Amino acid sequence: MPKDPAAIPLKAVKIRAELRQIRTMVDGSINVILNLPEDCKEQVKVLLDWLGLEIGAIIAKEPFRR
C-alpha cells in the first residue's frame, strides 16, 4: 500500500449542491444537473476525472454540516 496519501485513489467525494434540473432524454435516460458552490473546486477536479464512468450516489435533502 502506498505511504503517500495522494497516491491512494479516491472512492468517494462529498459535495454540497443545489439540485438545479432533472431532464428526461429521448433515449429514456435521465440527466440530473447539480450546481456546486465555488468552495467545491477540489471535489469537481475529482468528478472531472470520473466523467463518463458509472458511479453510485446517495443524495440527502438537508446538506451536511462542515
Q: Domain of residue 44: give its range.
A: 11-50
Q: How far is CA 48 from CA 1, 14, 41, 43, in A?
A: 25, 14, 10, 9
Distance CA 47, CA 14 (A): 11
Residue 3 located in a structural domain? no
- How many structural domains comprise the chain? 1
Residue 6 located in a structural domain? no
Residue 61 located in a structural domain? no
Residue 38 located in a structural domain? yes
Residue 2 located in a structural domain? no
At 40, the pLDDT band (50, 70, 90 cuts) reads very high
Residue 15 located in a structural domain? yes
- pLDDT for the residue numbered 65: 66
Tell me what the mean pLDDT of segment 39-48 comes to: 94
Chain-centroid distance, C-alpha 18:
12
